[in-house]
Structure 1
Amino acid sequence: MKIQGRTFVVSGGASGLGRACVLDICEKGGNAAIMDMNEELGGALVNQLGSSARFFRCDVSDTESIAAAVEGLARWTKETGKPLGGIIPAAGVGRPGLILDKNGNPLTLEAIDFVLGINLRGTLDFVRQVLPHLASAPTQGPDGERGAIVMVASAAAFEGQMGQVVYAASKGAVASMTLPMARDLSRFGIRVVTIAPSMFDSAMTAVMSDKVKTGLRKAMEFPTRPGKPEEFSSLVVHAIENSMLNGVVIRLDGATRMPSKL
């Protein structure tokens, strides 16, 4: 799949891993639709990239917000003549919490709904609302490919730590729906790949304490540092461009295997 001449939509695209994807897509000659709640960061990124990027305010936990952003996306692709080529649902949150705390209190339903609403329901809703536009895009190349979906899971999908029951559930679900989604969309020439990163420099990891960060580094093999956003985005680009990558979850973790607790 060639990125040049196509539009790629990135939720959570104003910062962190999503922002890195936007930068790489534009550098490769594609257009990037930045869907995010942070208008200040999104606007600054558009000012940096110029006409190859457009910001759409979008709350992935609100289906009407997604619908409005997708309508704007459809108008923009018609204006530019660059049809959709891919969907990157990179919006995500983490809210640690034991399923039962030391006082015997269960995790609140509000905390559960918050994480699942963005990481799982938000991912599904975002993808499903953009998909009709991707499925109607013109095909590319001898395989008749229309594009790729690159979803974001986490190492926690495989080795969730204490306090990560809900987060691990949300990311495990994203990983597990990769293959059936690829099978559903094969008739349309759309591939599905999921990347499961370990600790990467992002807004989510920025709020971690030094103790937690130190503990995570001890679990790393090589390199013994957080991943860089551009290392994540380079794999996203490869997943888009390599047509044989489909229905697979790729760990991007430097051989890190998370311990039960830090």
Structure 2
Amino acid sequence: MQIQGQVALVTGGGSGLGEATARELARLGAKVAVLDVNLANAERVAADIGGVACPCDITSTDSLQAAFDKVTSTLGPARILMNIAGIGTAKRVVQKDGSAAPLDDFSKVITVNLVGTYNASRLFAAACAKLDPLEDGERGVMLFTASVAAFDGQVGQQAYSASKGGLVGMTLPMARDLAQHGIRVCTIAPGLFATPLMKSLPEPVQASLAASIPFPPRLGKPSEFAELACHIVTNTHLNGEVIRLDGALRMAPR
């Protein structure tokens, strides 16, 4: 699918990997909707790229539908969905005081990262399936954002790894399910990237993490994630695939 002129939805588009992807889509000529729980961030990015900002909680069907309806009425029907919104946590199963890890923490991460992504995807797919087909019968494309933690989860990452592993496991069956409608599905599993959260860590910690990456021995650039996300859109034969983007990193237990 050519990106020029298409309407693209980016969840988590107000910062980090989502912001970089929204900016790259706009640079390539897409009409971009920036969806984020932080409306101020979404408005900042949308203003810079000439897009539309929408407050959006991906765990809420009403919130998602309101955002999608706004985008359709202002930009037109979307054919591209970048699922990038997500959260992280680290909790040992047995806490320092001997108590069990809180179940609410596990449930929240699964709900946002896995259920939220599915929620956005099912609503997008239902609308996209009604559009006229393009070349090769394609109607749309969606991206999931997993993590190397889906494969190399570290101590305390049970919830995060399970949520991202769920996205990895959902990729192929979703692609097979939506093939009849001409909608492709791929996943990127990024490693250590220079996001605002990572940059908030002390410099020595950032340097240590960067040094653990075989090559190049530095943190990933959000622009590199965005470039791959956009390549997935334009390369029609990429479907049902999970792509690690990590500089050959394999995470240690801690």
* Aligned partners of 1:3 and 1:241 also within 8 Å: yes
Q: 2:193: which partner in 1? A: 200
SS at structure 2 position matched to 1:119: helix
Q: 1:104: which partner in 2? A: 98
The letter for the 2-side match of 1:96 is: A
Q: Distance in 2 between matches of 1:91 and 1:123?
A: 8
TM-score (normalised: structure 2): 0.95
How far residue 210 of structure 1 moved from its aligned partner, in angstroms, is: 4.7
Q: 1:240-255 alignment to 2 at 5 Å?
A: 240-255=233-248
How far residue 215 of structure 1 moved from its aligned partner, in angstroms, is: 4.0
* Aligned partners of 1:216 and 1:258 also within 8 Å: no
Q: 2:215: which partner in 1? A: 222
How far residue 71 of structure 1 moved from its aligned partner, in angstroms, is: 1.7
The letter for the 2-side match of 1:151 is: F
- Indicate yes or no: 2:31 matched with 1:31: yes
Q: 1:113: which partner in 2? A: 107
Q: Distance in 2 between matches of 1:204 and 1:168?
A: 18
How far residue 209 of structure 1 moved from its aligned partner, in angstroms, is: 4.7
Which residue, 131, 140, 148 being the options, matches 2:134?
140
Q: Distance in 2 between matches of 1:103 and 1:197?
A: 33
Q: 2:231: which partner in 1? A: 238
Q: Distance in 1 between matches of 2:219 and 2:134?
A: 36
* Aligned partners of 1:33 and 1:56 also within 8 Å: yes
Which residue, 80, 99, 112 being the options, matches 1:86?
80
Which residue, 116, 126, 130 being the options, matches 1:122?
116
Structure 2 runs not aligned, ≥5 long: none
Q: Distance in 1 between matches of 2:222 and 2:26?
A: 15
How far residue 226 of structure 1 moved from its aligned partner, in angstroms, is: 0.9
Q: Which moved more, 1:61-70 or 1:149-158?
A: 61-70
* CA offset digits 1:67-126 (Å, max 9, x no partner): 211221221234xxxx32211110011111111123322111121122111111111111
Q: 2:206: which partner in 1? A: 213
Q: Distance in 1 between matches of 2:196 and 2:160?
A: 16
Q: 1:55-66 alignment to 2 at 5 Å?
A: 55-66=53-64
SS at structure 1 position matched to 2:75: helix
- Indicate yes or no: 2:157 matched with 1:159: no
* Aligned partners of 1:101 and 1:107 also within 8 Å: yes
SS at structure 1 position matched to 2:79: strand
TM-score (normalised: structure 1): 0.92
How far residue 196 of structure 1 moved from its aligned partner, in angstroms, is: 0.2
* CA offset digits 1:184-205 (Å, max 9, x no partner): 0000111110000001111332
* Aligned partners of 1:175 and 1:249 also within 8 Å: yes
Structure 1 runs not aligned, ≥5 long: none
SS at structure 1 position matched to 2:80: strand
How far residue 43 of structure 1 moved from its aligned partner, in angstroms, is: 1.3
Q: 2:68: which partner in 1? A: 70
The letter for the 1-side match of 2:79 is: G
SS at structure 1 position matched to 2:93: coil
Count of residue pairs the alignment pairs up: 254
The letter for the 2-side match of 1:10 is: V
Residue identity (%): 39
SS at structure 1 position matched to 2:97: coil
Q: Distance in 1 between matches of 2:201 and 2:189?
A: 19
Q: Distance in 2 between matches of 1:122 and 1:210?
A: 33
Q: 2:44: which partner in 1? A: 44
Q: Distance in 1 between matches of 2:72 and 2:234?
A: 23
- Indicate yes or no: 2:221 matched with 1:259: no
* Aligned partners of 1:116 and 1:170 also within 8 Å: yes
How far residue 62 of structure 1 moved from its aligned partner, in angstroms, is: 2.2
